[in-house]
Amino acid sequence: MKSATYLSVLKNEISDFVELRSSQGFKDKNRYILKTLDKHLISLNVTKKELTSPVVESWLSESCGDAKARTASNYTTYYNAFARYLITIDIPTFVAEPPILDQSYMPYIFSPQQIEDIFRIADNRKSMNDRLTRIQFPMLLRILYGCGLRLGEALSLRLSDFDAINGVLFIWNGKGNKDRLVPMDKTLISLLSNYCKVMFSKKSPETYMFESDFKDKIRDCIGKPRSYSWAQLNFRRVLDDAGIEVPRYSKNERSICLHCLRHTFAVNSFRNQEICGIDNYRKTPLLSVYLGHYELEGTQKYLHMTDEIACDIIEQAAVYSKGLFPEVPKN
């Protein structure tokens, strides 16, 4: 963004901060947040180069007072990055307290039978919009489930991001602008290799793995990656055919979606380790890196087990502890 788009007393500082972030490789999808701050400073007629507590708190209240905690967190986090920048150039700035996020959300974990139904229906669903979708979407599902990727990470994959020899995906600029390597199971390596050979034998290495062929009078998406809406719409149709009911929540609440495949991947990883006798807490840091989490807390939430998933573990524990505890008289 050019500095001319900002008009407040801090217009130059905002512009310089955005340009600095861009030079450091940040995508900065949240830069619009500073635009709302710029407008707020103008509305309050702030003429002194400083950001006081009342000014910042009134802006946050106005901008995201009725929004969900995640939105407020995004605003505060991005603002605080700007605040720390202002402090380094000797501008008095208030650093905001991040909101406490609601931890009550319980991810939906697909059962083994549901996963089987989802893939069977996706593989054989003739009513999908077009032939290309019938090929691409089942492959997208397998990458999301087999690697635990975020949807945006999968849709951004290019042919050059797949190392078929070593069976690794390269994830560039994932959440938090983090890069990472994602190894795959040999079954997925084989499937993805065949998919790339069939779909992209004469394509450039920079071609998107899930390239769109959509074009109408308004939009030309040919050569661009498939959209979130394309993926979510097809997934919703598969869920309907599989008889998996999607709860109707408010617009600020998350329901069953493609991100649940990432949750299922993580929980199944912990489950398999438990069955194999591997200490989950020792392996949590490894899975955290694999998933691209900022910290262990983001991974540890997956340690929860549903009754259905944990039943085989409970049975093993019962056999292991047999005879350990004395019987209690019934009467």
- The per-residue pLDDT for range 314-327, each reduced to its tens digit, is 455 445 445 554 55
- Asked whether the predicted pLDDT for residue 312 surpasses 80, the reply is no
Q: What region does 243 belong to: left with phi over 0, alpha with psi -120 to 50, or beta?
A: left
pLDDT digits (tens, 9 = 90+) for 143-176: 999 888 888 889 999 999 999 999 999 988 776 6
8 pLDDT higher than 80: yes
Which residues are paired to 289 by β-bridges? none
Is the sign of the CA dihedral 187, 299, 269, 110 positive or negative?
A: negative
Residue 203 backbone phi and psi in degrees, to 5: -95, 160
Alpha-carbon span 128 to 7, nearest angstrom: 48
What single-letter amino acid sits at 289? Answer: V
Contact present, 148 and 259 (Cβ < 8 Å): no
Asked if residue 48 lies in contact with residue 8, where contact means CB atoms within 8 angstroms, the answer is no
Distance of alpha carbon 227 from alpha carbon 191, whole angstroms: 23
**Distances from the Cα of 290 to the Cαs of 147, 171, 173, 181, 294, in angstroms?**
9, 10, 14, 7, 11
Q: Dihedral, CA atoms, 188, 154, 100, 78, nearest 10 degrees?
A: 150
* pLDDT tens digit sequence for 67-122: 666 677 788 888 988 999 999 999 999 888 776 555 555 678 888 899 999 999 99
